[in-house]
Amino acid sequence: MRFPKIAAATAVVLLAAACGGGSDDSSGGEAESLTVWVMGTSQDPLVEYFDNAEARFQETHPGVEVDVEFIPWPDAQESITNALAGGDAPDVLEVGNDQVAGWAAQGALLDISEQVGGWDTAAGIDENALEYGTYEGVQYGVPWFSGVRTLYYRADWLRELGHEPPATWDELVEVSEAIQEEYDVPGFAAPTDFTNGIASFIWSNGGEIATQNGDTWEGNLTDPATVEAVEFYASLTTDGISPQGYVGENELVALADMANSELGMYIDGGWALGSMEEQAEDPAVLENIASAPIPGADGIAPVFAGGSALTVFTTTEHPDEAFDLLTVLGDEEGGKGYADVAGFFPAYPALLETPEYQEDPERAAAATQMQNTRFFPTTPRWTAADQDSKILPGAVLDIVRGGDAEEVLGAANEELASILNEPVE
């Protein structure tokens, strides 16, 4: 069954009885077509991007069509699971970069270590991002694009107060207090259900969440640097910098406040700007919202680089051609092209240093932040520890509610190690 070149998200239909690969030719010869599953919904700039990618691919594979199917993110789990069970399946698959280990453990992704090792372009990819596409030492994914969070702030207020955007924890407190005193709104939002934000504070202080020692994961939540960072983050609420209304909430709760002059600063990704436009009662306010790198203990804080990876699906009948297509999508031209139309950043550090990014006021802060990134534990069990059990956010919540930091983090550390070391099914 061949998907249409560009299919709307609502057209996704997975048939359990259909073939297991996206190509038409099962004889082992050149494919007639290759199928790519892309997460999200079809938009005109994306259609143009894939048309160009197909033309580039056909320079070396004449006549091989590239069929693109858009899969809504909420449907990804079911779609990939059905493909593994024998339903319609892609040749090339986009997955979240934090999902590579999980799908690799379930047998959905092809080992592409040898191909990546022979791909010269891979040398220019962010080394840590490329490493995040491995599981148990095997390369399963190549980073396609990345996105990071930055500090959003009211540029007009800071100018009036005579402050630069805060670059350290001390400056964050100082500027927050000045905003609150002058404008009678909270200076900064520190939601407790915000692993990505909390992690930046931990990493900036030299702490870790968990590290791997051989085959065993060890929790690092009781390390002094981690404890100090978590205590500081919690103190932003207990000391009145961040409102009680953000306790138990994620960063989305602060978005409308930022868009409507009810908050001075908060941490979020570039994707938040579109939502601010929808929620701002006075659109003119958005002209005064700028961004800067996240302040750390003594300087710019590391940040989790979210994004997606390109993978080859395990059932493809044409793995060589599928990898060739992956390289067209994921090389400097393809990776940058997709990142630009999708509102993210390419996974090539050298590109981020160019004037195109560094001199663009809307992208400069994130481009700088992209050069200081970190990643969560590379294990399928991280989702269970974070999204399911909310170990780190839960610990922060307990401390904000009066729990002793060392006792709370000690218990959380035991739970974290236990979950991360559970056998992968």
Burial class from Cβ neighbours inside 10 Å (0-12, 13-18, 19+) for residue 19 reads middle
What are phi and psi for residue 228, nearest 5 degrees? -60, -40
The domain limits of the chain are: 6-147+305-373, 149-301+380-420
Give the pLDDT of residue 361.
85
Q: Which two tokens stand for residue 88?
A: 């319609």
> What would the mean pLDDT of 337-359 be, rounded to a whole number?
93
The sign one gets for the Cα dihedral 154, 159, 161, 165 is positive
Give the pLDDT of residue 355.
94
Higher pLDDT, 29 or 203: 203
Mean pLDDT computed over every residue of the chain: 92
Does residue 17 register a pLDDT over 80? no
Higher pLDDT, 250 or 273: 250
Give the pLDDT of residue 30.
79
Does residue 41 register a pLDDT over 50? yes
Q: Which H/E stretch holds residue 358?
A: helix 355-358
Closest CA to 38 of 6, 1, 78: 6
Alpha-carbon separation of residue 210 from 144, 265, 419 (angstroms): 25, 29, 11
Query: Looking at the domain that runs over 6-147+305-373, which CATH code has it been given?
Result: 3.40.190.10
pLDDT band at 255 (very low <50, low <70, confident <90, very high): very high
> What would the mean pLDDT of 238-259 be, rounded to a whole number?
96
- Domain 6-147+305-373 identical in fold to domain 149-301+380-420: yes
Query: Looking at the domain that runs over 149-301+380-420, which CATH code has it been given?
Result: 3.40.190.10
Closest CA to 175 of 157, 200, 199, 201: 157
Give the pLDDT of residue 27.
40
Give the pLDDT of residue 343.
85
Does residue 232 register a pLDDT over 60? yes
305-329 confidence digits (pLDDT tens): 999 999 999 999 999 999 999 999 9
> What would the mean pLDDT of 158-167 be, rounded to a whole number?
98
